[in-house]
């Protein structure tokens, strides 16, 4: 009976721990404005984009007859408020259109880096990760948040 009571008493403690972890994790959120990719990664992504994406999305990322733009206001506003992980997952499961899921996580991250460069998001010193879970910690924001 004491053991059952002790485990019930631990439930609120566990809930507090989980809540603190979530709040702490949100505090660790980055933004596309924080330099989340490198220029070298974007350069690799440019080559991949040319061979894997440009035939549908256009060589200038402006979209095509059946494919949306990947640069510019329409693209940025369409992803505003979501995460880079959301965009990564969309690419991972549905692109390229003729062979969805055929690119590696690294290739998808490199293409994303190229897209970020084309959209004038700043570069940084570390490459964009290839893991969707980590990318969910990066907010896609249309405008840079004011400095606090």
Q: Quickly state the pLDDT bin for 4 (edges 50, 70, 90).
A: low
Question: Is 57 within 8 Å of 67 (Cβ atoms)?
Answer: yes
As a whole number, mean pLDDT of residues 8-31 equals 52
How high is the pLDDT of residue 2?
54
pLDDT in tens, 109-140: 999 999 999 999 999 999 999 999 999 999 99
**Euclidean distance between CA atoms 4 and 124, whole angstroms:** 52
What domains can be seen in the chain, in order of their start residue? 30-139 (1.10.760.10)
Q: Quickly state the pLDDT bin for 5 (edges 50, 70, 90).
A: very low
Q: Quickly state the pLDDT bin for 141 (edges 50, 70, 90).
A: very high
As a whole number, mean pLDDT of residues 85-94 equals 97
Question: Is 138 within 8 Å of 31 (Cβ atoms)?
Answer: yes
Report percent pLDDT > 70 for the chain.
Answer: 81
Question: Is 44's pLDDT higher than 90?
Answer: yes
Which CA distances in Å does 24 have to 18, 21, 85, 95, 135? 10, 5, 19, 33, 16
How high is the pLDDT of residue 55?
96
* pTM of the entire predicted model: 0.81
How many CB atoms neighbour CB 60 within 10 A? 12
């Amino acid at each position: 009976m004491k053991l059952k009571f002790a485990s019930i008493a631990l439930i609120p403690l566990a809930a507090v721990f989980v809540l603190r972890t979530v709040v702490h994790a949100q505090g660790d959120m980055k933004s596309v404005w924080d330099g989340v990719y490198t220029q070298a990664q974007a350069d690799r992504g440019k080559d991949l984009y040319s061979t894997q994406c440009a035939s549908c999305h256009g060589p200038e990322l402006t979209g095509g007859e059946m494919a949306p733009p990947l640069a510019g206001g329409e693209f940025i506003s369409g992803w505003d408020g979501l995460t880079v992980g959301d965009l990564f997952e969309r690419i991972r499961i549905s692109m390229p259109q003729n062979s969805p899921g055929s690119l590696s996580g690294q290739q998808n991250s490199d293409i994303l880096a190229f897209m970020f460069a084309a959209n004038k998001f700043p570069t940084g010193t570390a490459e964009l990760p290839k893991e969707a879970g980590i990318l969910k910690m990066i907010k896609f924001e249309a405008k840079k948040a004011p400095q606090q």
